């Protein structure tokens, strides 16, 4: 029996360096919503100056844009990468609502693909020595000190416990942990993903 990983196979719509300014603004808004549940200017200013993870996300998103936006943003992206220890290449495809817990540090291979509303925790490494890196579905929580090795697939609403070493696919709605990671249960899928984008109630924004 085939194991379902993703509810929608057309998840990864963001091609780095081809995104318009409007698309980038929407991505930054979605990231802000994950942190604060709001997208107004007051929330933006607060989190930009007080939250290292969100500040990195802003410049990462701008550096992923097309044309002049990439050229203008790239030096600041490099500076934020060095200050935060968060290494996510602008070539990496990342969906709406990226949440970087506690401001990193972490390392994401440029060939990885992340869906919407993904939580990344400190000291996470998503790497690959041969070919493609991991594919992460929507509403996925990855705990601290996790290693995702080579081209594993993490299904929608999955939870990866702290300190896990993931070498095999994790199905949708599963909670997995351990070295090597094994599925523990299918209870409370996506329970740690708060302030999901898009918001269910448009008045929240």
Residue 189 pLDDT greater than 60, yes or no: yes
Residue 158 neighbours by CB under 8 Å, 6+ apart: 137, 140, 141, 170, 171, 172, 173, 174, 175, 176, 189, 190
Residue 146 confidence class, pLDDT cut points 50, 70, 90: very high
| Strand order, beta sheet including 165-166 | 86-88, 106-108, 125-127, 147-149, 165-166
Residue 204 confidence class, pLDDT cut points 50, 70, 90: very low
29 SS3 class: helix
Residue 117 pLDDT greater than 80, yes or no: yes
Give the pLDDT confidence score for residue 20 in this predicted structure.
84
Residue 94 pLDDT greater than 60, yes or no: yes
Residue 98 pLDDT greater than 80, yes or no: yes
Give the pLDDT confidence score for residue 62 in this predicted structure.
96
Residue 203 confidence class, pLDDT cut points 50, 70, 90: very low
Residue 142 pLDDT greater than 50, yes or no: yes
- Segment 150-178 mean pLDDT: 97
Residue 3 pLDDT greater than 50, yes or no: no
Higher per-residue pLDDT: 130 or 154: 154
Residue 7 pLDDT greater than 60, yes or no: no
Residue 138 pLDDT greater than 70, yes or no: yes
Gyration radius (Cα) of the chain, Å = 16
Neighbours of 4 (CB within 10 A): 12
| Residue closest to 31 by CA, chosen among 136, 118, 155, 152 | 118
Q: Write down how long the chain is.
A: 205
Give the pLDDT confidence score for residue 13 in this predicted structure.
53
One-character DSSP codes across 153-191: EE-TT-EE-TT-EE-S-B-TT-EEEEBTEEEEE-SSTTT
Give the pLDDT confidence score for residue 137 in this predicted structure.
96
Q: What would the pLDDT profile of 47-74 be if each residue is shown by its tens digit?
A: 999 999 999 999 999 999 988 999 999 9
Burial string for 144-158 (b: 16+ CB within 10 Å, else e) reads bebbbbbbbbbbbbb
Q: Could you give the CA distance from residue 140 to residue 71 in angstroms, rounded to a whole number?
A: 31
Give the pLDDT confidence score for residue 19 in this predicted structure.
81
Residue 200 confidence class, pLDDT cut points 50, 70, 90: confident
Residue 9 pLDDT greater than 50, yes or no: no
Give the pLDDT confidence score for residue 128 in this predicted structure.
93
């Amino acid at each position: 029996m085939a194991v379902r990983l993703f509810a929608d196979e057309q998840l990864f719509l963001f091609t780095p360096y081809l995104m318009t300014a409007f698309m980038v603004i929407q991505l930054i808004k979605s990231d802000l919503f994950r942190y604060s549940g709001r997208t107004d200017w007051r929330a933006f200013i607060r989190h930009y100056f007080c939250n290292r993870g969100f500040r990195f996300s802003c410049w990462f998103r701008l550096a992923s844009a097309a044309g002049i936006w990439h050229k203008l943003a790239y030096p600041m992206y490099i500076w934020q990468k060095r200050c935060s220890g968060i290494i996510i290449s602008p070539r990496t495809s990342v969906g709406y609502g990226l949440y970087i817990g506690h401001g990193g540090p972490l390392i994401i291979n440029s060939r990885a693909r992340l869906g919407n509303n993904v939580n990344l925790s400190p000291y996470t490494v998503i790497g690959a020595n041969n070919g493609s890196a991991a594919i992460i579905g929507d509403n996925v929580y990855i705990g601290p000190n996790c290693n995702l090795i080579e081209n594993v697939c993490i299904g929608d609403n999955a939870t990866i416990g702290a300190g896990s070493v993931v070498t095999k696919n994790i199905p949708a709605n599963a909670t997995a942990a351990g070295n090597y990671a094994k599925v523990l249960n299918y209870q409370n899928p996506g329970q740690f993903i708060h302030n999901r984008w898009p918001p269910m109630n448009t008045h929240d924004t």
